[in-house]
Chain A
Amino acid sequence: MSLGLRGILNKHNAILSGTSACPGCPENMAMRMLGMGLGKDVVLVVVAGCSSIIQGNAPYNAYNFPTVNVAFAAGPATASGLARAYKQRGKNVTVVVWAGDGGTADIGFASLSGAAERNENILYLCVDNEAYMNSGGQRSGSTPFGAITSTTPEGKKENKKNLPFLMIAHNVPYVATASVGYPHDYIEKLKRAKQIDGFKYLHVLTPDPYGWLFDPSKTVEVAKLAVQTCYWPLFEYINGKLEISSESLHCLDKRTRRPIRDFLSIQGRFKKLSEEQIKVLEQYVDSMWEKLKSML
């Protein structure tokens, strides 16, 4: 397959061989692309989650960046301290917080909101696999309606917390979404974020074969379907201006959206959904796009 990625791949290898990721892991992919987008002079702050396991056991470290692991709720504040110290020392460093959806939507949200409000010069990256996958697939605030998780065996009763919208409400210079199904788009966004001074938020959808219950060979396909069915919007919000990314432009018109069933039926976690429940998810998607359109 030629995605034209080989050239950039050699730029900075963010991941070394021998990670502890499961086969088909989307976070592993997202991390590899991080290196392609940001290059060198990066420091990572990783909060508890799959990513702290993928990194491997000390004394080894599969991430080819200096990496600080911290307690769940401490990522954005630790990054703030690092960034301020580099500023004091006159060093130009891109400090990246790498957190899952649990760390972002739930336990770490106060710290994230605080760092955003202070407009700290950091890049916050949420890799969203829509549950606490590292501790066994429990629901998080970012789990979608209807999804079966190990703590919602009957299907989640509430909608997904819309983090990118919440971050837009913080009035930070940069908010964007991406999907591991579209590496070029994601890498471009990383590059753009790196150029911006102040707080940057990038939310990447990372479909997890083990929690979402699909075959590990299909990670990219599911990640693409999420975008094609408009369940996951791709956009960029730069200095108050919203722009829908080209992969998602067809979602602006409801008639050109691919049916959400195509995204739901490829995964096991939605297998108990009734017709009515599918409608709830459709409504969620519709209202999200109405909101996005109103911001254009």
Chain B
Amino acid sequence: MMRKIISGNEAVALGVKLARVGVTGIYPITPQTTIIEKLAEMKAKGEIDTEIVRVESEHSAMAATFGAALAGVRAFTATASQGLLYMHEMIWWVAGSRVPVVMVVGTRAVGAPWNIWNEHTDFTSERDSGWIMAFASNPQEALDLTIQAFRISEDERVFLPMMIGMDGFILSHTKTNVLIPDQDQIDGFLPPRRQPYVIDPEDPLGMGNVFPPEGYMRLRESIDSSLRNSEDVIREIGREYSKKINPLGDYSTLNVSYKLDDADYAVVAMGAWAGDAMEAIDVLREKGIRIGLLRIRYLRPWSEKEIREALKDKKGVLVLDRSTSFGRYGGPLYVEIKSTVSDIIPSIKGVVSGLGGVTVTKNDLVYLFNKFVEGMREDVIWYYPKEVGKVELRTPRDIE
């Protein structure tokens, strides 16, 4: 075990190396590019024995990763934004095939217009694809979750692909101190690859051909129940990881609480700004306001039980969304939280902010939390940290 100052993307590449991945499908897109560059560099130096398929699109990156996984090796890819949307079709195909695959998403805004900066909408819009979806809040967690992802997705109680979100630039490019496990430790933690079936010439097995309606529906149901059952598997594997690999990280739960037990108010957030939220909470605590944080680490499975338990007895909950769900009142996390605890929480408010790289600082969060505790009137607000000039949208031009 050693410590090194590395970026989130480097941490992920190291996780892929330690997991002894057999094939990676690579295609560049900001801000995940340095993951695949790092892997290519490791390959050139002979540090990894991974087949690297330098494909011509993200659709193909997911397809190549899928093919490799079917043929019985550990397979990985990474993407972001438009790239994730471009592979959308194959993301569903992989989940429907029940084949373990791991992907990291360096989250980023989706055009139009072009915007390369961070938000979570690309990630959250894959919510219903059937993948396990975790979200890291620092480079250490990005590495730890990448390694755990192989173990979770290859568990016979799960057999589903898993993606890990990581805030673009904020984590992907920021260097922090990361604890890097030894190869021996990971070899002891990750058993040889397991999957429900392997495409091998000896066995004329058909995968993915036409399914009669009832069979199709049963398969969809099996994905749902495996995804829900994966909750216990995630806790079990997380506990083992904390014990054997990283004693400083607590992975015994799906989601993470901060100063929540005695709190009157709770904030819910996902990703890197949870760190700023913790600092903002400390400021309010000093003023005697009892407020805490629930950080969502797993969007899927959604641990209803854990979340209800963590938020019970709170006077109010404020949900921070760095993503959008248009035409619905509030962002995706707000809607999820509302459907989970609206019967036990008197007041649930939401903030949509930080889109397209808009910087939300600790001070902004202090302001927002204060406003919330004072009883902010609107249920959901779109918050702009700085004074933003009014944007005039032109009315459609009549064509003569």
Contact = CB atoms under 8 A, between A and B. Distances in A.
A77 B51 contact: no
B201 A85 contact: no
B199 A114 contact: no
A250 interface: no
Interface in A25-53: 40-43, 45-46, 52-53
A58 B208 CA distance: 8
Interface string A193-209: 00000000000000000
Given A74-B90, A114-B57, A84 B207 contact: no
Contact of A82 (B70, B93, B210, B211): B70
A12 to B, nearest CB: 11
A274 to B, nearest CB: 38
A89 interface: yes
Contacts, number: 168
B63 A70 contact: yes
Contacts of B211: 57-58
A93 interface: yes
Contact of A77 (B55, B207, B212, B215): B55
B60 A68 contact: no
Given A77-B25, A86-B71, A111 B63 contact: yes
A97 B66 CA distance: 15
B25 to A, nearest CB: 7
Given A45-B67, A58-B210, A68-B199, A111 B93 contact: no
Interface in A122-152: none
A85 B73 CA distance: 6
Interface centre among A78, A79, A91, A118 (most CB of B within 10 A): A78
Contacts of A65: 201, 204
Interface string B11-32: 0000000000011010000000
Q: Is the interface of B mostly helix, strand, loop or mixed?
A: mixed
B88 to A, nearest CB: 10
Interface in B177-207: 199-201, 203-207
Interface centre among A70, A81, A84, A91 (most CB of B within 10 A): A81
A171 interface: no
Contacts of A55: 206, 209-210
Nearest to B216: A58
Contacts of B212: 57-58
Given A58-B211, A66-B200, A114-B55, A81 B66 contact: yes
14 contacts: A45-B67, A58-B215, A66-B207, A70-B63, A74-B62, A79-B67, A84-B53, A84-B68, A85-B70, A85-B73, A89-B71, A89-B72, A111-B63, A114-B57
Given A46-B209, A68-B208, A71-B93, 4 more contacts: A68-B207, A69-B208, A88-B22, A110-B56
Interface of B: 22-23, 25, 49, 51, 53-57, 59-73, 75, 89-90, 93, 199-201, 203-212, 215
